[in-house]
Structure 1
Amino acid sequence: MAISFDKAFGVHPHAMLIRSQRAELLATNIANADTPGYKAKDIDFASALKAAKSNQQGGNSMVRTDAKHIAGGSRFVGSPEMFRTPNQADTGDGNSVDIQVERNLYVQNSLEYQASLQFMSSKISGLKKALGSQGA
């Protein structure tokens, strides 16, 4: 019986990739908190996950330029970056980063990443146990 990792892990691998990209974006926002004219960016997690799930089912196809090339493709499309609507009035330098909001979002994103990682770890542990008992 074949193991379907897509069914076993669900959306968690895709969620971890999106959360990783989001962490980089939030860290960039924090690093540019004092940069004049910098606009805070974020990722719409729900739409990025929806795109990743539809990609998982359909897959991306690569253009083959020769019949001897192996068909391939990726299963993940980059997340759409969006500018965040500022919560505070413009301070005069055009920067829209609210450092407290960015830090809170970074911590929340990190906790959600850790939750997916813990889920994946327990699933892998369960699969290893199941495979170990099959050989006995």
Structure 2
Amino acid sequence: MAAKLDDYLRFNETALNLRAQRQQLLASNIANADTPNYKARDIDFAKTLQGAMAGKSSTVPPVELARTSSAHISGKATGDGGIGGSPLLYRKETQSSVDGNTVDMDVERNQFTDNAVRYEAGITAVNAQIKGLLAAIQPG
């Protein structure tokens, strides 16, 4: 029974998780608007959601960290693994800048707001699903 409930809610749960991660990515772009040579990043949300629903994991292998002393702890950096198993993409430059920064604040604010509205719509959809389940369970 619980597995069926999980399956029923999985799509919206996955979409909300990806929207939250994308919101952080867009906020990072905005925060780095004045950082020289910063390249704005984003994801193809539809492809990322399809990959996440199919259960695909990140295809980017971890990177071995360089050690300059034998006393250093070895480790692996996950690098730029992306979101939901999909790689992060560079946003196409809309206007050139002297310092090499590709963040266009108008584009970033628009994407940030659009993503926030879609996140809220996802929450509304989950609430409707839960209300439907409660209506089916409760006598009356």
TM-score, with length taken from structure 1: 0.75
**Is 2:14–2:49's contact at 8 Å kept on the other side of the alignment?**
yes
- Report deviation, 1:7: 4.3
Which residue number corresponds to residue 93 of structure 2? 86
Is 1:98 aligned to residue 81 of structure 2?
no
Query: Does residue 123 of structure 2 align to residue 117 of structure 1?
Result: yes
| Contact kept in structure 2, 1:36 and 1:93, CA below 8 Å | yes
Indicate the residue corresponding to 2:19 in structure 1: 19
Match of 1:38 in 2: 38
In angstroms, what is the RMSD of aligned CA positions? 2.1
- Percentage identity across aligned positions? 41
Q: Which residue of the partner structure matches residue 5 of structure 2?
A: 5
Equivalences, count: 114
2:137 to 127, 131, 134: 131
Gaps spanning 5+ residues in structure 2: where? 58-82
> Within 2, Cα distance between the matches of 1:109 and 1:11?
17
Q: Calculate the TM-score normalised by the size of structure 2.
A: 0.73
Unpaired segments ≥5 residues, structure 1: 60-75
* Large movers: runs of 4+ above 6 Å: none
Closer, same or farther: CA 43–120 of 1 in aligned 2, 3 Å: same
